Amino acid sequence: MQKKDTKKDALINLTLLFFMKNNTKDEKLIDLAAHLINEIIADHKLSDNDILKVYRKLNQFIESFDNE
């Protein structure tokens, strides 16, 4: 039996999907990511603040590679 995703798991998955959606030119992947993003937001009743936090953390993560 698969465990239910926690909010933390959902936010991590959301971060990865936003990254994939914003960094591909493949329309099928963009559509898939958008669909999964909407499902995660609905399933976990994520707020606008949660989504903004995801974007901030994603940007911090990406920028961390610039310092290497």
| CA 63 centroid distance within chain | 17
Cα–Cα separations (whole angstroms), residue 30 to 6, 34, 36, 68: 24, 6, 10, 29
pTM above 0.85, yes or no: no
pLDDT at 50: 92
Check whether 3 has a pLDDT greater than 70. no
**Position 1 confidence tier, pLDDT thresholds 50, 70, 90:** very low
Token representation of residue 67: 């310092």
Instruction: Write the pLDDT tens digit of every residue in 4-52.
Output: 678 889 999 999 999 999 899 999 999 999 999 999 999 999 999 999 9
What's the Cα-to-Cα distance from 40 to each of 5, 27, 66, rounded to whole Å? 10, 20, 29
Pick from 67, 65, 62: nearest CA to 22: 62
